[in-house]
């Protein structure tokens, strides 16, 4: 008897809720970035706009990849207000925009272990522009300023570290879920062998009822006859052989010719007609039959 296992509890499907939250977070981040770049305050200059652009672009990319590219494209918004656009934004937009685009491409091409290479590429672009920008154009002094480097590198390092930890935890949780699914599949396919209950047959001690109208089986007759039938069968075999010799000596030719042929006795008839003498080596001959017949002449 096998115990019936309880049905496994099914987890509620929350994929719709997570999709809604991701869309809500992505659009909220894009809207906040658009407001920051389109309507900058009087106190916030290009350092705040640069810090917010890098930070919110990488944050929007965490909700979905296309949110990151939308936030990257929003970097052109300060240039649409020519009277309020900071002069440094004409350098920030191509330099930081190109570095962010390369970082997003590398981030989407692999897992968490590709992020360090993307961070090195972004940082290398900023440091390379600071070293070789002045040699190419003497007026290109903005990348060499520490404020520019801090406002560009600090939000990048924060968001890349956050993305690395998030993707690593997500991979670990998926690996554990796949392991539990494989264990559950093995448990379902490996079912215990069910043994049939043993049935015992009890022999009845009461004798079986025998119908007198029906003949007993041959096996029962053989067991009932016992040793007597075996001895009678052996004697009948000897009697069948001796009967033609005795009849030829005592029966005249005319009588022998007029008598119909005698059929060979069967084992049952021989057992019923032949009596077994006390001495099994002697043949019992009925003398009255011999005396009733006429002896053969001369």
pLDDT, mean over the chain: 72
What's residue 24's pLDDT?
A: 93
Q: Which residue has the higher pLDDT, 17 or 278?
A: 17
- 84 pLDDT exceeds 90? no
Question: Residue for token digits 């069948």?
Answer: 240
In angstroms, the CA 83 to CA 222 distance is: 130
This prediction has a pTM of 0.58
Q: Residues 239-286: pLDDT tens digits?
A: 444 444 444 444 444 444 444 454 455 544 444 444 444 444 444 444
What's residue 293's pLDDT?
A: 46
- 103 pLDDT exceeds 70? yes
* Mean pLDDT of the 32-53 span: 85
Beta strands (DSSP E) in 228-278 are none
What's residue 246's pLDDT?
A: 41
Q: What is the CA radius of gyration of the chain?
A: 59
Number of neighbouring beta carbons within 10 Å of residue 153: 16
Per domain, the residue ranges of the chain are 16-186, 227-292
DSSP 115-137: HHHHHHHHHHHHHHHHHHHHHH-
- 211 pLDDT exceeds 90? no
CA angle 133, 138, 140 (to 5 degrees): 50
What's residue 195's pLDDT?
A: 54
Q: Which of 119-151 are b and which e, b meaning 16 or more Cβ less than 10 Å from the residue's Cβ?
A: beebbebbeebbeebeeeeeebebbeeeebbeb
Least confident among 41-55, 128-142, 213-227 = 213-227
Question: Cβ(164)–Cβ(115) under 8 Å?
Answer: yes
In angstroms, the CA 47 to CA 89 distance is: 10
- 32 pLDDT exceeds 90? yes
- 123 pLDDT exceeds 60? yes
How much of the chain exceeds pLDDT 70, in percent?
A: 56
177 — pLDDT class (breaks 50, 70, 90): confident
What's residue 139's pLDDT?
A: 82
Residues 6+ apart with CB under 8 A from 112: 163, 164, 167, 168, 171
CA 159 centroid distance within chain: 42
180 — pLDDT class (breaks 50, 70, 90): confident
Q: Which residue has the higher pLDDT, 224 or 52?
A: 52
Residues 6+ apart with CB under 8 A from 193: none
42 — pLDDT class (breaks 50, 70, 90): low
186 — pLDDT class (breaks 50, 70, 90): confident
* Mean pLDDT of the 155-162 span: 94
What's residue 104's pLDDT?
A: 93
Token pair recorded at residue 200: 């015992």
What's residue 206's pLDDT?
A: 46
What's residue 203's pLDDT?
A: 44
Of 105, 112, 106, the residue nearest 172 (C-alpha): 112
Residues 6+ apart with CB under 8 A from 156: 54, 58, 103, 119, 122, 123
């Amino acid at each position: 008897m096998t115990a019936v296992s309880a049905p496994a509890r099914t987890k509620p499907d929350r994929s719709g809720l997570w999709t809604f939250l991701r869309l809500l977070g992505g659009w909220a981040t894009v809207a906040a970035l658009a407001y920051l770049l389109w309507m900058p305050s009087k106190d916030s200059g290009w350092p705040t706009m640069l810090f917010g652009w890098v930070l919110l672009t990488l944050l929007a990319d965490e909700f979905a990849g296309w949110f990151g590219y939308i936030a990257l494209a929003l970097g052109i918004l300060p240039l649409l207000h020519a009277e309020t656009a900071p002069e440094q934004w004409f350098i920030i937009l191509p330099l930081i925009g190109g570095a962010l685009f390369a970082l997003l491409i590398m981030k989407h091409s692999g897992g968490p272990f590709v992020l360090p290479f993307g961070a090195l590429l972004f940082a290398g672009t900023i440091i390379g522009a600071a070293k070789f920008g002045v040699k190419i154009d003497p007026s290109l002094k903005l990348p060499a300023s520490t404020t520019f480097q801090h406002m560009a590198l600090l939000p990048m390092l924060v968001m890349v570290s956050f993305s690395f930890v998030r993707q690593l935890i997500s991979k670990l949780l998926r690996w554990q879920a796949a392991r539990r699914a494989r264990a559950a599949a093995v448990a379902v396919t490996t079912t215990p062998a069910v043994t049939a209950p043993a049935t015992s047959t009890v022999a009845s001690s009461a004798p079986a009822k025998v119908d007198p109208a029906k003949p007993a089986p041959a096996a029962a007759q053989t067991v009932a006859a016992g040793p007597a039938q075996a001895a009678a069968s052996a004697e009948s075999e000897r009697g069948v052989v001796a009967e033609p010799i005795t009849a030829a000596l005592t029966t005249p030719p005319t009588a022998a010719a007029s008598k119909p042929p005698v059929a060979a006795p069967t084992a049952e008839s021989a057992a019923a007609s032949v009596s077994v003498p006390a001495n099994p080596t002697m043949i019992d001959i009925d003398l009255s039959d011999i005396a009733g017949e006429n002896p053969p002449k001369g």
